[in-house]
Amino acid sequence: MGDVKFAFLKIPCPTEEFFLGPTFVIVTTPFWTNYLVFSTFFAALVLFVESAYFTFSCFYHLYVVGLKSRSPSTIRYQRVFFRGIMIQVSIPFVFYAIPYSLMLLVILLDIYDQAINNLFIFVYSLHGFASTLAVLLTHGPYRKYVLSIVSKRFSYVESFDNSNRVKVVSLY
């Protein structure tokens, strides 16, 4: 208990401005700017190497090696799925890679503009929309269903049960 009391006595309270109005924290010292840029670059490099390894490994085993224990239809389905996953991953990746690269450039050039920051955050927020759109458009069953909804190719069958009217919608 004494250590906690000592810590509260040693750490000063924030000033009144901390609790009032909007607070913007900008990294201005070169140490923290370099730390932010290099640590983020290292994390992105690790993710890129890992993604490249698994992509090339899947490509090699699906297209180059071709195991004899799998049927041709299984190989075909796996290849179609692999292409779909590659497209599904690459579309939302653009929503991270482009703004992130520009953000690093802005940090390195020591430019601070709130409008640019807001634009980066807006583009990042589109990631979920892009991911959903990529899944819906990339994989065949999802694409087929969405196109059937958009083109309104429903077949309506109406049946009557006494006074209750029931509408049955068939999607095929």
Report which residue type is found at 163: S
Q: Give the DSSP per-residue string, 67-106.
A: -TTS-HHHHHHHHHHHHHHHHHHHHHHHHHHHHHHHHHHH
pLDDT at 49: 94
Q: How far is CA 47 from CA 2, 68, 96, 120, 128, in A?
A: 45, 32, 13, 21, 19
pLDDT at 105: 84
Contact 127, 121 (CB under 8 A): no
Which of 31-64 are b and which e, b meaning 16 or more Cβ less than 10 Å from the residue's Cβ? eeeeeeeeeeeeeeeeeeeeeeeeeeebeeebee
pLDDT at 42: 93
Mean pLDDT, 10 residues at a time, over the chain (172 residues)?
69 76 71 83 90 91 80 87 87 79 81 83 84 86 84 54 57 59
Residue 103: Cβ within 10 Å count: 19
- Which SS3 state, helix, strand or coil, does residue 162 take? coil
Model confidence, pTM: 0.56
Contact 156, 167 (CB under 8 A): yes
- Which SS3 state, helix, strand or coil, does residue 171 take? coil
